[in-house]
């Protein structure tokens, strides 16, 4: 990505989706989410780098959905699928912040990938490349049933190496699934190295556009830019949308940023204190419940 400011590429005025959301997709909420992610890594190794990079995206999407304890459990609801399931620690943190997941009452240890029996988790994921297909199927079912709920799916840029992703891209465009919004956490890295070196995806936006998708490209840590692009995507008609979110792996913790060795990690007491200080907390401040 160039050094210039990211641009939202929209071909119609910004609109609003079915739900206005509750405007809690803020940097303060994201900081609280990052503190939770870091504390998860004290007792066990977790996928820190990808969870920290996707945090702002998940905070913004859940705010746009208006996700909360009283969120309706009906077929027409908005949905969120985390296809890059190894970043589930960010999802747990967001669900806890929004009162959907009570960590104190959760039965047993949290799974290392999303499990549909966990409060707030729509679909079990983990094997990369499947989430978009599931999301497209849900969006198609909603279209056939006349539902207006939006299906959001969050993928990693390394995950786009999977051929099944592009099958779903073609299917969604062919079926004109305008209730489908994909968000790509484009942190430029994957477990094997830099995405551009493992399998270069550029020009990524042009690829999605060539398949018939509405596209936008934003700074994935800019909440205002994310919210604007998401509102526009949710308002699209007759085609699916993708938002390419340029992010930093390990965002918010300087000793983790852009560092492949922090794809998975466990924190010592000293590392936790340093990391919490970086995101505006202290090691003895306790839980954010």
Q: Which two tokens stand for residue 46?
A: 């977790």
What is the CB-side half-sphere exposure of residue 48 using CA atoms within 13 A?
30
* Residues 266, 271, 277: CA angle, nearest 5 degrees: 125
Cβ atoms within 10 Å, residue 110: 17
pLDDT at 70: 85
5: buried, middle or exposed (CB in 10 Å: 19+, 13-18, 0-12)? exposed
Q: Is 46 left (phi over 0), alpha (psi -120 to 50) or beta?
A: beta
- pLDDT tens digits, one per residue of 127-152: 899 999 999 999 999 999 999 999 99
Measured CA to CA, the distance from residue 251 to residue 9 in angstroms comes to 24
Do 132 and 168 form a contact (C-beta atoms < 8 A)?
yes
pLDDT at 220: 98
Question: Is the pLDDT higher at 17 or at 215?
Answer: 215
Nearest CA-CA partner of 260 in 245, 269, 248, 278: 248
DSSP 261: G
What average pLDDT does the structure give for the chain?
89
pLDDT greater than 90 at residue 180: yes
Q: What is the mean pLDDT of residues 196-223?
A: 97
pLDDT band at 12, cuts 50/70/90?
A: very low
pLDDT greater than 80 at residue 18: no
pTM for the full model? 0.89
- pLDDT tens digits, one per residue of 87-106: 999 999 999 999 999 988 87
Q: Which two tokens stand for residue 93?
A: 């943190």
Q: What is the mean pLDDT of residues 68-77?
A: 85
pLDDT greater than 90 at residue 71: no
Residue 166: phi, psi to the nearest 5?
Answer: -75, -25
In sequence order, what DSSP letters do the residues of 71-133 get, joined into one string? Answer: ---STTS-EEEESSGGGHHHHHHHHHHTTS--TTT-SSPPPSS--TTSTT--S---STT-HHH
pLDDT band at 8, cuts 50/70/90?
A: very low
Question: Is the pLDDT higher at 227 or at 76?
Answer: 227
Do 58 and 90 form a contact (C-beta atoms < 8 A)?
yes
Kindly list the structural domains of the chain, giving each domain's residue range(s) and its CATH number in brackets, ordered by start: 27-278 (3.40.50.970)
- pLDDT tens digits, one per residue of 103-135: 888 777 899 999 999 999 999 998 899 999 999
């Amino acid at each position: 990505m160039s050094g210039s400011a990211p641009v939202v590429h929209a071909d119609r005025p910004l609109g609003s989706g079915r739900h206005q959301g509750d405007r809690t997709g803020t940097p303060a909420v994201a900081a609280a989410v990052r503190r939770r992610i870091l504390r998860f890594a004290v007792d066990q190794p977790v996928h820190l780098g990808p969870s920290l990079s996707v945090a702002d995206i998940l905070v913004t999407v859940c705010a746009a959905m208006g996700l909360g304890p009283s969120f309706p459990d009906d077929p027409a609801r908005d949905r969120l699928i985390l296809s890059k399931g190894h970043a589930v620690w960010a999802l747990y943190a967001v669900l806890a912040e929004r009162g959907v997941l009570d960590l104190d009452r959760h039965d047993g240890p949290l799974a290392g990938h999303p499990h549909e029996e966990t409060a707030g988790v729509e679909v079990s994921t983990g094997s990369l490349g499947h989430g978009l297909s599931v999301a497209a199927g849900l969006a198609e079912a909603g279209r056939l049933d006349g539902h207006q709920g939006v299906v959001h799916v969050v993928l990693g840029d390394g995950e786009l190496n999977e051929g099944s992703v592009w099958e779903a891209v073609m299917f969604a465009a062919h079926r004109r699934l305008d209730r489908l919004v994909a968000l790509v956490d484009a942190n430029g890295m994957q477990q094997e190295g830099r995405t551009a070196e493992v399998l270069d995806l550029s020009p990524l936006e042009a690829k999605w556009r060539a398949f018939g998708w509405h596209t936008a490209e934003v700074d994935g840590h800019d909440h205002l830019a994310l919210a604007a692009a998401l509102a526009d995507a949710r308002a699209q008609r007759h085609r699916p949308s993708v938002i390419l979110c340029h992010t930093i792996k390990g965002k918010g913790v300087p000793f983790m940023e852009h560092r492949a060795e922090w794809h998975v990690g466990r924190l010592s007491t000293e590392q936790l204190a340093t990391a919490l200080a970086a995101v505006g907390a202290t090691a003895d401040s306790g839980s954010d419940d």
